[in-house]
């Protein structure tokens, strides 16, 4: 016997998890906090298990993750229907805020090639929500059912998902021109990297250490690091003379050509292969997202 879950209760669960609490979920859904709690209790009673651990922060249980994924599949069906209705009746209203289509994309892709890929879909009214994380961790958002697709370094397809190779993003080490002349007259070397501050994205970012390890044949690398959680912010910090940063070549090519930045280790670059994963479902919206990202990646990334 099939089970049908109340769509309003499913959206309450999604709002609680995405907003991180009952009060903000109530504000998002324009209902009372008591009504949010009642919908969740009713959903838990129907599922026969606890769906959300009432901790700080709130987190979904394993069963909660399953229903989150189901709720987003229902949302995707609505997005497909909305698209079809717009074609039949161009004046039809767009998707509601709670029907956003979430995907996870690494910050470096957002800063370079991914946003232009999604431009046409966003202007057509697709209610995108882009979640950013390190490229080695975006797949966790998909694994937990919180997004419909992700750009990641993970090659193996996740269960219930399909995967498409996008190409490689090349990373280079850059420094501000005056900083390089005064602090790195011979470039980044095996003798000076330990004394050089590196601007990393966050504590998950191992690109700086990976680059130095590859450049100088080292297995273990310890660096002096500053953290700026923005790809563009890392570049601005380097331009301000904070130190060296390993960033996508796509992001700094123009600044290098203009002479504002210099390649601090021109003999070394690190290619990072990226993949697009999404749920293995028949969906026009997912097909559009896949085609848009794949097309932009073909033009922007490197391919072996």
The pLDDT, as a whole number, for residue 1 is 43
The pLDDT, as a whole number, for residue 242 is 98
Lowest mean pLDDT among 124-138, 167-181, 237-251: 124-138
Angle at 47 between CA 45 and CA 50, to 5 degrees: 70
Does domain 100-304 bear CATH number 3.40.190.290? yes
**Peptide bond before residue 274 is cis, with ω within 30 degrees of 0:** no
Of residues 238 and 53, more confidently modeled: 238
The answer to whether residue 37 scores a pLDDT higher than 80 is yes
* Domain boundaries of the chain, sorted by first residue: 1-94, 100-304
| pLDDT tier, 85 (very low <50, low <70, confident <90, very high otherwise) | low
pLDDT one-digit tens code per residue, 190-243: 999 999 999 999 999 999 999 999 999 999 999 999 999 999 999 999 999 999
> What does the alpha-carbon distance between residue 134 and residue 112 come to, in Å, rounded to a whole number?
15
Mean residue pLDDT of the chain comes to: 89
| pLDDT tier, 3 (very low <50, low <70, confident <90, very high otherwise) | low
Query: Who's near 60: CB < 8 A, 6+ residues apart?
Result: 13, 17, 51, 52, 53, 68, 144
Beta bridge partners of 192: none
Residues of the chain above pLDDT 90, percent: 58
Indicate the fold that domain 1-94 takes in CATH: Arc Repressor Mutant, subunit A (1.10.10)
* Token pair for 275: 């993949």
Which of 285, 11, 303 has its CA nearest to residue 122? 285
Taking the model in full, what pTM does it have?
0.75
């Amino acid at each position: 016997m099939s089970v049908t879950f109340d769509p309003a209760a499913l959206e309450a669960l999604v709002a609680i998890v995405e907003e991180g609490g009952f009060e903000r979920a109530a504000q998002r859904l324009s209902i009372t906090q008591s009504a949010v709690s009642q919908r969740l209790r009713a959903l838990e009673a129907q599922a026969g298990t606890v769906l959300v651990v009432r901790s700080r922060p709130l987190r979904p249980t394993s069963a909660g993750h399953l229903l989150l994924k189901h709720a987003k599949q229902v949302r995707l069906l609505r997005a497909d229907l909305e698209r079809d209705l717009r074609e039949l009746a161009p004046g039809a209203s767009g998707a509601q805020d709670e029907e956003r289509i979430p995907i996870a994309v690494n910050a470096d892709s957002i800063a370079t090639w991914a946003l232009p890929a999604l431009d046409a879909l966003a202007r057509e009214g697709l209610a995108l929500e882009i979640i950013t994380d390190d490229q080695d961790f975006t797949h966790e958002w998909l694994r937990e059912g919180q997004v419909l697709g992700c750009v990641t370094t993970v090659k193996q397809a996740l269960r219930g998902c399909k995967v498409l190779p996008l190409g490689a993003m090349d990373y280079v080490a850059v420094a501000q021109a005056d900083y390089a002349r005064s602090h790195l007259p011979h470039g980044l070397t095996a003798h000076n990297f330990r004394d050089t501050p590196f601007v990393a994205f966050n504590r998950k970012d191992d690109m700086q250490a990976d680059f130095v390890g590859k450049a100088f044949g080292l297995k273990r690398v310890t660096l002096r690091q500053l953290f700026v959680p923005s790809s563009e912010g890392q570049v601005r910090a380097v331009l301000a003379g904070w130190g060296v940063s390993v960033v996508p070549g796509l992001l700094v090519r123009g600044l290098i050509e203009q002479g504002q930045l210099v390649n601090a280790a021109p003999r070394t670059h690190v290619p990072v292969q990226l993949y697009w994963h999404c749920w293995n479902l028949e969906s026009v919206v997912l097909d559009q997202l896949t085609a848009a990202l794949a097309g932009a990646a073909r033009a922007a990334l490197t391919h072996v």
